[in-house]
Structures are given as structure tokens and as C-alpha cells.
């Protein structure tokens, strides 16, 4: 376990190092984002404050539009439930439906198991890297 300082809130968040260095953490510390390919990103739960996750509620369908700071999923554990808010806008292109039957996978250190949704982000193609880093406050995991 390690800690990282959020530049906006000036608070430290605990995190478990994940397998890939291309991950970024949202400004509230609850969502990680991984770039899969140009314009395509996976979002997962990082630190929801609910303990071990035993329930995951995902969007009902793909092709729905997602906006920054809007809820995209709900996780629940012994410590309560928490709504997760998206750090990126875009179109949902895939959902990890395996987590509905096995929600403990959302706590997995392997991002290929733990992702919740995949989005086609609404970022300008020419400045995608700069926009991505600016949205996520340059907080690499």
C-alpha cells in the first residue's frame, strides 16, 4: 500500500500499485482510468471506502452517453455503498458484465479483471494526451 497526494484537494489517498503504469486516478481518488488504445479508456473502482466489494451495479446498456462528474456505477460492501463518477465524457462501448455475478473481481489488482466500463472518450484527437492528463490532474499510479 502506498499514498498519493491529490493536487486539488491536497489530501492523501491510499492505493495498491496496479500492474500497468498507464493508469491515472480521478481527482476524488475513487476511480482509476487506463488507456487501452487511442480514444478508448477503461474505468474501474480504486478506493470506494466500502471495504470488500460484494455488489456492482453497471450501466444497463452500451452506446449510452456518459458525462464528466456524472454517476456511471454503484459499488456496495460491508461499509456501505458508493456511487462512482466519471472523470471523462464519452460513449460507453463495453461493460464488464462478469462483475455482476462475481463483484469481488472489482477489487482485483489485475486491471484486465477489475475494469467496470470501457468508453470511447470525447477528447480532441490532436491533443488527446494533454487533455487526458489535464482531466486527471497528472496523477499516475
- Is residue 81 a part of any domain in this protein? yes
Q: Which domain holds residue 48?
A: 2-135
Q: Is 51 contained in some domain?
A: yes
Rounded Cα distance between 82 and 94, Å, is: 21
The pLDDT tens digits of the residues spanning 95-124 come to 999 999 999 898 888 888 999 999 998 776
CA distances to 80, 124, 130 from 59, in Å:
20, 25, 28
Per residue in 36-89, pLDDT tens? 887 888 999 886 677 888 999 998 877 688 788 888 899 998 888 899 988 888
pLDDT (0 to 100) of residue 66: 77
**141 domain-assigned:** no
Q: What is the CA radius of gyration of the chain?
A: 14
Residue 112, domain member (yes or no): yes
CATH of residue 88: 2.40.50.100
On whether the CB atoms of residues 106 and 133 are closer than 8 A, the answer is no
Residue 140: inside a domain: no
Number of domains in the chain: 1
| pTM of the predicted structure, to 2 decimals | 0.75
Amino acid at each position: 500500500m502506498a499514498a498519493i497526494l491529490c493536487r486539488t484537494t491536497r489530501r492523501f489517498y491510499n492505493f495498491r500499485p496496479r500492474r500497468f503504469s498507464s493508469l491515472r486516478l480521478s481527482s476524488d481518488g475513487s476511480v482509476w482510468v487506463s488507456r487501452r488504445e487511442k480514444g478508448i479508456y477503461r474505468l474501474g473502482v480504486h478506493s470506494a471506502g466500502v471495504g470488500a466489494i460484494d455488489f456492482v451495479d453497471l450501466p444497463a446498456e452500451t452506446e449510452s452517453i456518459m458525462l464528466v462528474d456524472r454517476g456511471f456505477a454503484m459499488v456496495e460492501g460491508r461499509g456501505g455503498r458508493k456511487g462512482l463518477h466519471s472523470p471523462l465524457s464519452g460513449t460507453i462501448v463495453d461493460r464488464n458484465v462478469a462483475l455482476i455475478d462475481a463483484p469481488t473481481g472489482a477489487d482485483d489488482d489485475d486491471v484486465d479483471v477489475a475494469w467496470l466500463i470501457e468508453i470511447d472518450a470525447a477528447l480532441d484527437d490532436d491533443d488527446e494526451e494533454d487533455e487526458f492528463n489535464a482531466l486527471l490532474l497528472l496523477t499516475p499510479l
